[in-house]
Chain A
């Protein structure tokens, strides 16, 4: 019973997205106070000060002391303050009501909680505990993600919890786990400055993590060469030293070919490989199958450029490699990420100043959100839910019997397949907008239709929450406190600037209110985020992601703490209240509780793993029927599914609607001119957008940004193929065809650009 209660346009009329009427503060508005906190958007987590007057955020002031961004902000950060005091803000619980003009009717919060609890209890009674699924998100504070994992397993006793990091961080996470035994960027970003070569693999840094740009340019000023691998000439690629215009979906081949060249020329660190790694020979053998001519042919990167890349990378003394969704959003995502790690391990340039490897996380808590148990196979402290020892420890912290703890669940997409199959009857979702963000999203909408109970916790009525039976009014980032872990692995503190308006509640209170209403309050009675964090410290203790030495005070004092941060010395067990954290991993004299002195890496033998990073063709690759590569991504002024940024006027004005980017040679062939309406079609569906004809994209590829819903959403087109290990969807490539549209689509006259 979760089809839209009324017509989508009617819901939009009532709940937006509308633009914030407040486009600017007055010049006489004086803030009562400045609250030092962090931006609510991406994984860079820039420090920012919010200007607060009464219970309203009225502006921002740069926070120049915070070391990561020193006052720098992207346009989203600058205008993020406009999301508060918004007319679309949900101030009450809502109950689906086809009789109401907007499809939803306000209901008292307590009644909503009781109703939801009753329904959950009923479904679990009739269909078993596993009939309820929970979806979380990586923009939640670590405290909330921890609580959500505990809620699913202890209170709901369901194995079915997963999160939207499944769309984001899992390929990198799985690769890191396989290669290093730990999942974190190895060095602070400041280590980039002074390095000789930087390799940016599949990251539109300028638009997706703008603050990182300054680190790269700063490194360039200090002499670094910059290699960028991307099918589009992004701003960072425009002025890089070496551009590798890779054909979408061929990254693992590129890495294999380049590593093959390096091996051939002896540009590898044999000593490091022998002492600190295992598995090199198999990788070397695999690379032999990628002679450079074949690599060039498959990847579409000219041979000379590949040779130059191998030489630059191979002969450097120091280097930094990072990648992002460009190589991770593939059914081959883990292999792609492993390919980069092989390039790093072969040179031995890891675990020292000016040499590192990292993945640029996407969401606010892309790092912390993947560590403490909202993943289907994971328990707090980056523990494994299938590991008996790990299970016992967490069961003891949670004060339950180990057998009561459910086993591993399924990934977020699989969870929808289970909904579709009728196995999961009820769903609680927070911080996740799959109707926009998952591939083949019309399937997602159909799956939601089959739920008997869909509860969304949200602050705006997101495109997914429109399908809900009950919407519980949650909190904006500035209405709650807690920690997040940013791109470098630095745990930082989000500070509360204002109180929740109306009947809205902080998310952790809502979750606990549900537990209480279910009459299962065990372990769900925290009085503050800090109390949750204190338990999280214990729960993470001894895990790889060990937060036990981190306190709110230490975060304030140090302006962030890099995990692992131990409360007890892993060698001696002596208390270490002053442990400063671990800014750099894998340093020569480092000790970790997994290797126990055997080596630097987080395996019992202390050695890093080479993994054969196999190139496999993309699912639904370009074909004779669908001959053009479709790739998707972001623009700088929007964030993820746009629930927040499509409500902020100045950001909407910057890039109002998605456009289909294509090369003039392709446009000529298709008879499409700049500004024409063009239809892009795959076996899943078709959408019509305005064409943007530019020479900055491969002529065999088209690009569409994904921040918009419905008929503007490229995820109507993308394929629900997933990586077999990480289960990340393959957003970055599939075959499509494009034609000039006869006329404008219906939305052009019906909807505002942001809707």
Chain B
């Protein structure tokens, strides 16, 4: 195994064990653990392993490593930290929670993504603690109409079984799946109608995730329908079907499109690095002398390119010190020069 893979494996094992310990703690040594959910639990453990492994591998790529370090350094720089915290909060809300950048790419896509993202988030927020035994509910002794919620084994509050709150809470997954289904339909609509999307989409990368989300939502809803209106008709079959869809999705998390959920926060780190770069010196183009990028970005990129094995060193400097516009001009000038040189002989009478 290569050193990066060894390191990544170590991190992955550590995170998986860490989650295992938290499950033991949160469920009070499995006292509140629902044995029926054990399949889900193992799937999450495996997903944790896989995601951590991939994340660790990813972080070890030269450009990612550079950005990871620079991002944190920029964020934690003592003088900038207070401002950074405020910016972090704002960007987390505006960009991450409200998907502003996606809405700007395309309004409809933004709405689609908001539905999918918040549906999934809601579902995860409900099911993961249940699966890990971190939350459970008990009837309040002596009050059959009251439920008591426990978090990590600690009682956190009572509520009436027949209350509206209870209805909302216990049907949380229904609401989540409705959000997701709406999002999936919008996404499919776009993928079927938009010729640009059609051209570049791939089944595994773009369509399968939507199919999985749809399958989870539909089977989950069917469970609710079964016990609510059909007196449990085919309940255990549906439960197995639902479990399969969820487990497959969990196991697939590290490999496919869903991994962007874990990658995406890097956008915030990049923001701090860029803020710092904008405040610092700007690199001036070797050819046109105009500033074109933060000097630090160029220095870091040269390091990254060398780590990757690129050799853009040129007489008296590095090609990275030439701005993109001049690069385009050079391309034309170099080609044009081939056509004019060597100079044709002067004409006889000229």
Contact = CB atoms under 8 A, between A and B. Distances in A.
- Bind each other: yes
Contacts of B195: 27-28
Nearest to B348: A311
B194 A304 contact: no
B347 interface: yes
B193 A304 contact: no
A308 B193 contact: no
B78 interface: no
Contact of B349 (A27, A28, A30, A308): A308
B347 A308 contact: yes
A30 B193 CA distance: 9
B316 interface: no
A392 interface: no
Contacts of B196: 27
A588 B193 CA distance: 59
A308 B350 contact: yes
A418 interface: no
A233 to B, nearest CB: 15
Contact of B194 (A27, A307, A308, A311): A27
Interface in B201-246: none
Nearest to A242: B347
A304 B349 CA distance: 7
B341 to A, nearest CB: 14
Contacts of A30: 193
Contact of B350 (A27, A28, A304): A304
Contacts of B349: 304, 307-308, 311
A533 to B, nearest CB: 38
Interface string B339-350: 000000001011
If over half of B's interface residues share one DSSP class (helix, strand or loop), that class is named, otherwise mixed; here it is: helix
Chain A interface main SS type? helix
Contacts of B193: 28, 30
Nearest to B193: A28
B279 to A, nearest CB: 31
Contacts of B194: 27-28
A343 to B, nearest CB: 19
A294 B242 CA distance: 96
Interface in A288-347: 304, 307-308, 311
A346 B194 CA distance: 61
Interface in B169-197: 190, 193-197
Contacts of A308: 347, 349-350
Nearest to B339: A239
Interface string B312-350: 000000000000000000000000000000000001011
Interface in B96-112: none
A311 B195 CA distance: 56
A308 B196 CA distance: 53
Nearest to B347: A308
A307 B347 CA distance: 11
Nearest to B340: A239
A27 B195 CA distance: 6
A3 B338 CA distance: 60
B275 to A, nearest CB: 32
A311 B193 CA distance: 62
Nearest to A305: B350
A217 to B, nearest CB: 12
Contacts of A311: 349
Contacts of B347: 308
Contacts of A28: 190, 193-195
A308 B348 CA distance: 10
A30 B192 CA distance: 12
Contacts of B350: 304, 308
Interface string B61-73: 0000000000000
A304 B346 CA distance: 12
B14 to A, nearest CB: 45
A311 B348 CA distance: 11
A27 B349 CA distance: 60
A307 B350 CA distance: 9
B35 to A, nearest CB: 49
Contacts of A307: 349
B139 to A, nearest CB: 53
Nearest to A312: B347
Interface string B245-287: 0000000000000000000000000000000000000000000
Interface string A98-120: 00000000000000000000000
Interface in A567-624: none
B219 to A, nearest CB: 31
Interface string A19-54: 000000001101000000000000000000000000
A220 to B, nearest CB: 11
Nearest to A26: B194
A28 B194 CA distance: 4
Contacts of A27: 194-197
Counting chain B CB atoms within 10 Å of each CB, the highest count among A27, A30, A307, A308 belongs to A27
Nearest to B192: A28
Interface string A401-431: 0000000000000000000000000000000
B289 to A, nearest CB: 18
A238 B349 CA distance: 22
Contacts of A304: 349-350
Contacts of B197: 27
A30 B194 CA distance: 9
Max count, chain B CB within 10 A of own CB: residue among A28, A304, A311: A28
B88 to A, nearest CB: 35
A308 B190 CA distance: 63
A28 B197 CA distance: 10
B200 to A, nearest CB: 12
A750 B255 CA distance: 59
B111 to A, nearest CB: 15
A304 B196 CA distance: 56
B202 to A, nearest CB: 18
B107 to A, nearest CB: 12
Contacts of B190: 28
B126 to A, nearest CB: 35
Nearest to B344: A241
A27 B189 CA distance: 13
A550 B303 CA distance: 71
B30 to A, nearest CB: 52
B217 to A, nearest CB: 25
A304 B348 CA distance: 11
A308 B350 CA distance: 8
A506 B350 CA distance: 59
A224 to B, nearest CB: 15
A311 B350 CA distance: 11
Nearest to A311: B349
Interface in A227-271: none
A307 B349 CA distance: 8
A308 B195 CA distance: 55
A304 B190 CA distance: 65
A83 B350 CA distance: 51
A552 to B, nearest CB: 34
Nearest to B349: A307
Nearest to B350: A304
A27 B108 CA distance: 13
A27 B198 CA distance: 10
B307 to A, nearest CB: 39
A27 B105 CA distance: 13
A446 B296 CA distance: 65
Nearest to B336: A239
Interface of A: 27-28, 30, 304, 307-308, 311
12 contacts: A27-B195, A27-B196, A28-B193, A28-B194, A30-B193, A304-B349, A304-B350, A307-B349, A308-B347, A308-B349, A308-B350, A311-B349
Sorted nearest first, the 5 A-B pairs with minimum C-beta distance are A28-B193, A27-B196, A27-B194, A28-B194, A304-B350
Given A28-B194, A304-B350, 14 more contacts: A27-B194, A27-B195, A27-B196, A27-B197, A28-B190, A28-B193, A28-B195, A30-B193, A304-B349, A307-B349, A308-B347, A308-B349, A308-B350, A311-B349
